[in-house]
Amino acid sequence: IWQTVAGIAAATRKSRYHSRLFAYLAMDTMTENDYLTAWGLYAFAALGCLLVWWRMTRWIWRWLREPLQLLMAVLLLSPTIVDPVKTQFAPAVAITALDLVLKVGNNAWRAISDLFMYTMIAFALYIVFVLIRWPIERAANARRERKVAADAALAAEPEDDEPFRRPAPAGGMRVEPRL
């Protein structure tokens, strides 16, 4: 008889997820506020990672450093769609890593294609920026070199003892003062 009572009690007993606290945690939907808070925290963490990456790559040659910094920015800041019905986005790197490591979902290829697309767009814009910047820098370097050469020539000239005297006439003849 006690086994029957224990079996009935076990069948009618509610799980721990029926309390209010755990019912909220067991829901798989996010409110708009939760979604924006999560993106805000992720953006703050991603900017921190970018600052650390910039600090780590500051010793590298400039033409290698800038593309590496751009690649890291694209990896950290590019979103991909998670649920097309709800139009919710998540970081593409996180979706790719979770789908490949845990072998769940089919969003990995979409996230990889989004990462590739964002990378190509970012590098195309970077190349345009470099092509605009390059002639400007060359002109600035040439101007700087001319200034250094002019300063060196001025320093090599002997200093004039009488700065306010009249220059000698070109013909070698004496010039009378005017009255």
Looking at residue 165, its pLDDT comes to 66
State the Cα–Cα distance between residues 147 and 153, nearest whole angstrom: 10
pLDDT at 15 > cutoff 60: no
Q: Element (H or E) spanning 69, and its range?
A: helix 62-77
In the structure, what pLDDT confidence band is assigned to residue 168 with cuts at 50, 70 and 90?
low
Residue scoring higher pLDDT (67 or 103):
67
Q: Give the HSE-up count for residue 43: Cα atoms under 13 Å, Cβ half-sphere.
A: 7
The one-character DSSP state at 16 is G
| Residues 140-159 pLDDT 10s | 999 999 999 988 887 777 76
Task: Identify the pLDDT of residue 75.
Answer: 94
- Which residue in 46, 47, 25, 32 sits closest to 89, CA to CA? 32
